[in-house]
Structure 1
Amino acid sequence: MAATPNKQFKNICVLSGFNYGKHKEFVEAAIDLGRSIAERKLHLEYGGGNRGLSKLVSEAAFVRGSQVLSIIPRALKALGSLSD
């Protein structure tokens, strides 16, 4: 199915690492991604809590005006593994 040129995305979902990793390039890329999402006036849905690259993407998008929705399955939230 081909995309129609007059339709634009309004939402984007991002799932990224819950750690920062060993390379600062990942941190920079996560922040750049969040900024790009906001610049394109997209809403962000992300699968994560309050840590790592997911946090960086969401914060960068939010502070620049994007609506941000964090989705955490109940089973994972109960474990406390995704939030500080």
Structure 2
Amino acid sequence: MSELAELYAADLTGAGWLKSSYTSGDRACVEVADIPGLPAIAVRDSKNTDIPAARVSRTAWSAFLAAVADGALTPAAR
């Protein structure tokens, strides 16, 4: 089984979802959870929890968070 297939085969039923302390007043935010048994993270929309969560390796998640903290990601031009 490929790494990606393994990530999406994992059961998130008992995952401990965490919501950011920066959640807006309308509660629109993302939630993250460790994927049980894998070095990976699941990410979902807190207002649409029935939509399947995106899943990424811990390495990819750490790189994303570092890029955000460094200001390396900028909004796309509209």
State the TM-score, normalizing by the size of structure 2.
Answer: 0.29
Higher relative contact order structure (alpha carbons within 8 Å, sequence separation ≥ 6): 1
More strand by share: 2
